[in-house]
Each structure stands twice: as structure tokens, then as C-alpha cells.
Structure 1
């Protein structure tokens, strides 16, 4: 079956609405090569053409086009580690005890000083080196934020593992709560601010309007990923926790219709991000306005990565005949009206929309 049919689109062509410009760091290719060498040195991957087709490190050059090279390379190595670790945790998910213990060790490695010994484990040793690389680029405050968001990511990985082992399927609302953490995408917020030299102050970072804009930006690309990765997950038998399947089950509809509903949620969120971006671009706080410019590159860059990387659409994953033509456009949403500012029926994310009704700065 062609993956366009899995996605709920007709024919072999798939059109994706993305109103944000694409970007590419001038040293993206070099970052891909160097980050892959780093991952290969630790035995996390084999390197070579297969790794280049995955583009796990180079994808960061699409998301952080304004980053300083050293910062981009450090983030790319952590990205390589994270993607590969995610697959390793899928293998551990069948043993919740092993999963929990491994994640706990990762948390300990991430927060302990470099002098603390690390168990003889390639994932933990390479994670320690990730933090060494990042500490050479980011200041203490940015590292504190990165660690905090990273701990949310590690917890989210364990959260997903528990849901996989629970007999009761998750609701859409429960999935949305888990998925923001599990994706690790919240780390894009301190990355983006710090990598280009525009770190947010504590007050700016905790501003509820900034948080709503930032979380909506990064979760929107995660929601798109649920649809784009569905064919791969169906084929390998790992689609139990895919949002499309959860929506189909909760609403009692077919997979194709559910894929359209999830894509509508993606477009609905991007509409919100676009409105909030316009508002924050006028913010007198330079760092906030700069974040409003740079963070949406994660949407365009993330989409570009997902529709090109062999991780999602490679022939070894879904077969040559299943690969559709995918086009990114920026004219109009396919499923949602930009004039409709209604919040989605999920309180877990609907609070973002409420921030549009107030100009007051608040803390979460």
C-alpha cells in the first residue's frame, strides 16, 4: 500500500502546509559528517551511507540555521545520541524494570559532574560526552535549562514504556501529555535561544506567553511526526501508541479518517504558532522577539527531515513502491481555517489559546 493512503491522502502526492521559511546552516553537511563520526566512535551506529541517509545530526542544521558552529555540532551529537537511544529504548520496553533502571542511570549521568564515574555502558558514556560538548558552548543557566528539559525527556521515555506495557490504551489527552515529554523537543527552546547567542532571562523563559508559543511550536512538529511515521510503525508492528491509531480507536473511525483528524490538529496548532509569532515579533524584549523568529525553523526543518530521512521513508523501511511525492507549500492549510481561533477540545494544550486573550506576563 502506498503510504499516502495510510496518511489519508489520495493518489501518490502529499501536500504539507508549512507557512514558515526553510533554513539551512552553511555548515550543515560538515556537522552531519562530524556528528556521525562521533556516534560511530562510541559504537552507537556504523557510519557510512546508511547514516548519511538518516541525516540524524545534519537535521539540526535545518532547525538551527543561525547557531554558532560549535553549538550546532554539540547539539547534533546529542541529536544523534537521542535518535539512536530512542530505538534502543524501544527494545528495552518489553522489560519495564530494565527500562526504568537504564533511564534512571541516564538521569544520574546527566546531572553528575564530569568527575563522577560512569558505568561501562556505551549509551551512558556517550551521554556524558554529550554534556561535555555542550558545557563547552553553553553557559551555566542554559545548561541548567537544558538538563531540566532533558530530564522531562528521559521521564517521557519511561512514561511511554509504561503505557506500552499497560493493558488499557491511552486516551488522546493522556497521549498528548506524554508525547511532549517523550519527544524531547522541549529542549529545542533553550537550544535555539542559546545556540545563536540570544539566551532568555529567567523571567522571559518562564513567561506564560513565551511558554505557550514555544510548546505549541515544538509539539506541532511532533504531531506531524505521528502521521508521517505511521506507515513505518504499522509495517514494523509498533503502532499501538501512534496518535492516529488512538484517535481512530477513541472516535470509532478508520485509520485514514483519523490521519486527517490528526493532521487537522497539526494545522490548527501551526495557525496558533503563526499568530503568536506575529505578536512576539513586536515584543520589546530582544531575546523573545529573536526566539519568535528562530524557533519555527524547527517546524520547517523537522518536516524536511521527516520527508527525506531514511528513518521514515527509506526503502528499507517501507519499500520503493510506497514512497509518495511530498511537497511542502505555504499557501493555505488543507484541513483547518486560519480564521478559526477555536482551541482544540484538549485542556492539556488548550491553555495555549487562552494566552491570546491576555497581554499580562505571568508565571506557570
Structure 2
């Protein structure tokens, strides 16, 4: 199909059919709990850009139906993940050090609290001790089974961090397919998916979470979110090795596009992912498994959460980085701008094209009704 005419570069419309919902505890309360915890563990400095990043908005909007305790833990975990991500960026040219730190972090998640944490230097040690504290908090609000799924997802995320660092240190750019495979792992969104059910107080088995159709729904949603994150991160990563590898650079290299055309192609892919996610959500809401139906109803709150956080956080705002080229203003719309909703053709990347097959299969099995309502906050 022919894509609609792209809008002026001064405004970047983002298709988001999911309304923003905030946790009743409030962004400020959740964020304060996260900032204080992160400062107390020595991960960030008071008054720093990170301390003003409004990461509480991530939890308040991403898990608005979670218990208040779980929302606070999610906020703290998000601050920890940002600190870990930023520290690993500083090890871009020291892969052995990065691999050792990742291995130590994985060890913390799997070993008892009585196991000593080695002294690796002030910042790495703080990352490990704070992660142990987080793990203990997660047991309290997720339970042992919920923690088990989250620690597995956390390990997957850390492996993705090393994958991205390895890409920086090789001469050949990734294909779009490899980039998408790496990005799913590196984005850490699998931890958000694992957190969703136990953090909200309903049981969801590993078999349900890793059901292929549920997996396709989860990955379509979060890869749409990571596309937004890629665009927002371009300013803060412009002068780093990471700035050379993002969805736009991968699309430009594979399809021989100029930067502006690559940006529009990324917007087109984003809309295709969101449209697929909504198709899968509609059929999974009718799934006979109650946990799957509820998961499908509530998880897409991460889409407006990502958009609003990217537009409001000091982590991404370009006015805090005078040397950076400003990104277009983000404008939320309820209609697609680049892709026809009636065109359900999979994109030309086998790595994700299988998701579209599951959308067709599940529609045939369960239809496309809209059963299911968000849960209540505890």
C-alpha cells in the first residue's frame, strides 16, 4: 500500500488508541518513594537529571491497576534499571568488565541474602546491594513464583545489554531483523510483562505468559514502546557509541534510506506494531483463560505510559542538552498517520512477521470482541 503523506518534521504524531490511566496513589507519591530509595542507595545524586526524571510516571501509568506496594517497587526497579543501563554504557569499550558486572547482578538475583556481595568499586557495588534490596521487596509483593518469572526476565534483559555492547564493538551494522531481536531482549520490557499479573494480585502461569499468541501480543506492544524510546534516546545518545545503533540507523542501512526517510519508516513500523497489538488484544480478551484476558486488557497501558514519560522526563528533554538537535514535538493521535489499518500484511522481517500469523489464527478461534475490564487497585 502507499503510506499516507508524512506530517511536517516539526511535529511527530504518535498513534495511541489506549487512554492514559494513572494509579490512584498518584505520580508524586510513587516517584518520591523511588527517588528517595535510589538516592539512599547511592545510585543517583539529589537534584540530578535522573532524580528529576519523573520515573514515577512510568509506574503510575504503566501499572495503574497494581497494588500500591507493587507500583512503588516497580518505580524503584525502573530507577535501578536506568542506573544499570547508564553504567553499562560507560563500559562500551570494556566488554570483560561489562560481562563480569552482568554476571554478578545475575548472581544477586539467584543467591540467598546471606551470600556476601563482592566489593567491585563504589558504583558497581551500589548496583548490586540495591538489586538485592529490590529482590527482597519483590518477594513481598510478587510472591516466590512471581519473583521467579521476573528474575528470569531480568537475566534475559542483562544478556541483551551485552548483545548491544557487542554490536558497538563490531564493524558491521545489524540488519533490521537482528536489531529487532536484540532490542526486544535489551529493552527489559520482558520484566514489565512478568511483573504485570503478580503485581496486580492475580495468578498467571508461565505457560500462559509464554503462550505464543500472548508472547506475540506482548512483544508487539513493547517493541512499539521501544521505538518511541529509540526516538527519545537519540538526543542523549547522539555523541555515544549507542547513538550509531537504533531503529532508524538499522532501517537506513538495510533499505538505503536518508535519515528523514528512515524516521518516517520507523513511524510506519511503529503504527503497524500498534495496530497488530490492538488486533491481538481484541481476541485475547475473549480467551477462556481469565488471567490471559485480564493481562490483555491491562498490559497496553504501557503504551501511553511510554509516550507521556518520553515527553515529560528530564532523561529525554532536549532543552536540558543545549548541544542536541531537538526532536519533533510528540503529538498523540487516535488515528494512524502512516499505515492503513485495513492492511494486515506482515512487515518484511521474519523475526517478527510470525506475530501477524497468530493474530489471524486467534481471530479465527475466538473472534475479535472486547470482553474484559481492567482490574481494581488494591
Q: Same fold (TM over 0.5)?
A: yes
**2-side partners of 1:230 and 1:48: how far apart?**
23
1:349 has 2:327 as partner: no
How far did residue 235 of structure 1 move? 5.1
Q: CA deviation at 1:192?
A: 1.2
Deviations 1:293-346 (A, max 9, x none): 11100011011101111111242225698365432121x111111111111111
* Counterpart position of 2:229: 225
Q: What root-mean-square deviation, in Å, do the aligned CA atoms of Structure 1 and Structure 2 show? A: 2.0
Q: Helix, strand or coil: the match of 1:266?
A: helix
- The equivalent residue for 2:140 is 136
Specify the alignment match of 2:43 in structure 1: 44
Say whether the 8 Å CA contact 2:220–2:277 is kept in structure 1: yes
Query: Which residue of structure 2 aligns with residue 5 of structure 1?
Result: none
| Equivalent residues of 2:318, 2:325 under 8 A apart | no
TM, length-normalised to structure 2: 0.88
Aligned residues of 1:173 and 1:346 also touching (Cα < 8 A): yes
Residue 34 of structure 2: aligned partner: 35
| Alpha-carbon distance between aligned partners in 1 of 2:313 and 2:251, rounded to the nearest angstrom | 26
C-alpha separation in 2, matches of 1:315 and 1:126 = 31
1:58 Cα shift?
3.4
Question: Is the aligned partner of 1:336 residue 2:339?
Answer: yes
Q: For residues 233-259 of structure 1, what are the alpha-carbon distances to aligned partners after superposition, in whole Å with 9 as ceiling and x for unaligned? A: 225564111121121122211111001
1:64-213 equivalences in 2 (<5 Å): 64-120=63-119, 121-213=125-217
- How many angstroms does 1:115 deviate by? 1.6
Q: How far apart, CA to CA, are the structure 2 residues paired with 1:196 and 1:319?
A: 42
How many residues align structurally?
Answer: 353
Asked if the contact 1:227/1:262 (under 8 Å) is kept, the reply is: no
Contact 1:56 1:83 in 2 (8 A): no
> What stretches of structure 1 of length at least 5 have no aligned partner?
1-7
1:63·1:297 contact (CA, 8 Å) conserved in 2?
A: yes
Contact 2:92 2:241 in 1 (8 A): no
Deviations 1:92-125 (A, max 9, x none): 1111111111111111111112121112311111
How far apart in 2 are the matches of 1:196 and 1:116? 30
The CA distance in 1 between the partners of 2:44 and 2:195, in whole Å, is 24
My pick for the range that moved more, 225-234 or 338-347, is: 225-234
* TM-score normalised to structure 1 length: 0.92
Q: Which residue of 1 aligns with 2:21?
A: 23
Counterpart-to-counterpart distance in 1, 2:330 and 2:265: 19
The separation in 2 between residues aligned to 1:45 and 1:9, in whole angstroms, is: 39
- Contact in 1 for aligned 2:232/2:327 (Cα 8 Å): no
1:25 alignment partner, SS class: coil
Distance in 1, matches of 2:102 and 2:51, equals 28
Pick closer, same or farther for the CA change 1:140–1:92 going to 2, 3 Å.
same
Q: Secondary structure at the match of 2:330?
A: strand
Residue 266 of structure 2 is matched in structure 1 by: 262
Gaps of 5+ in 2: 1-5, 120-124, 366-378
Distance 1:319 1:280 in 2: 46
Is 1:273–2:277 an aligned residue pair?
A: yes
* Preserved contact between residue 31 and residue 54 of structure 2 (Cα < 8 Å): yes
